[in-house]
């Protein structure tokens, strides 16, 4: 059966705004996240389209993706977006975004004739991508807090 990862990637790129809005709505409705967010909405969501673009790049790569390059390119957005957040909030937001992307991939399988093997590969890659992001966020958060404590 032919690979249809390009169709999945195209559909994702066309749906970046919809996926982002779905995520924003979930963040706003989540009882575990603060409602008095210190950042304006534009600053909260500015890294989400970049993440979805990176996922498209991961989907279309042959073999195993290089997550080190992806982590390096994500650093600036996370450095800015972590201000004022607890680690729990950051991880919760990532988990909500992962769920939005999982749902999108599953819905796209039917709508765009993506075969089951490609759907499973995409879900595995989404899981790996967010797993790497979680490690990055935890590392960065701990380093930032250690630096803050040394300055105190």
Give the pLDDT score at 35. 54
Residue, of 103 and 150, whose pLDDT is higher: 103
Residue, of 20 and 151, whose pLDDT is higher: 20
Angle between helices 5-14 and 16-29 (to 10 degrees): 60
**In the structure, what pLDDT confidence band is assigned to residue 66 with cuts at 50, 70 and 90?**
confident
- The torsion angle over the Cα atoms of residues 144, 147, 148 and 149, rounded to 10 degrees, is 120
Q: Which domain holds residue 56?
A: 5-151
Q: What is the pLDDT of residues 71-114, one digit of tens each?
A: 655 654 565 556 667 888 888 989 999 999 999 999 999 898 89
Has residue 68 got a pLDDT over 80? no
Q: In terms of Cα–Cα distance, which of 120, 122, 95, 90 is closest to 12?
A: 122
- The torsion angle over the Cα atoms of residues 136, 118, 108 and 17, rounded to 10 degrees, is 30
Q: Output the domain CATH number for residue 70.
A: 1.10.490.10
Q: In angstroms, what CA-CA distances link 7 with 3, 122, 136, 150?
A: 9, 12, 29, 49
Residue, of 12 and 61, whose pLDDT is higher: 12
pTM to 2 decimals? 0.85
How many domains does the chain divide into? 1
Number of H helices, E strands in the chain: 7, 0
Q: What is the pLDDT of residues 116-143, one digit of tens each?
A: 999 999 999 999 999 988 888 888 888 8
- What percent of the chain lies above the pLDDT cut of 70? 79
Give the pLDDT score at 103. 97
Give the pLDDT score at 1. 42
Taking the CA atoms of the chain, what radius of gyration do you get in angstroms?
16
Yes or no: say if 47 and 97 are a contact pair by the CB < 8 Å rule.
no
């Amino acid at each position: 059966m032919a690979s249809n990862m390009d169709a999945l990637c195209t559909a994702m790129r066309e749906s970046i705004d919809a996926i982002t809005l779905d995520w924003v709505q979930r963040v706003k409705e989540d009882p575990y996240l603060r409602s008095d967010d210190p950042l304006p909405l534009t600053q909260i969501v500015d890294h989400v389209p970049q993440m979805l673009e990176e996922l498209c790049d991961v989907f279309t790569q042959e073999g195993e993706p290089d997550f080190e390059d992806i982590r390096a390119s994500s650093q600036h957005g996370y450095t800015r977006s972590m201000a004022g957040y607890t680690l729990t909030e950051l991880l919760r937001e990532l988990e909500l975004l992962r769920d939005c992307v999982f749902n999108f991939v599953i819905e796209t399988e039917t709508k765009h004739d993506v075969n089951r093997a490609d759907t499973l590969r995409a879900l595995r890659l989404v899981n790996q991508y967010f797993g790497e992001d979680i490690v990055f966020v935890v590392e960065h958060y701990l380093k930032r807090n250690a630096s803050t404590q040394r300055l105190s």
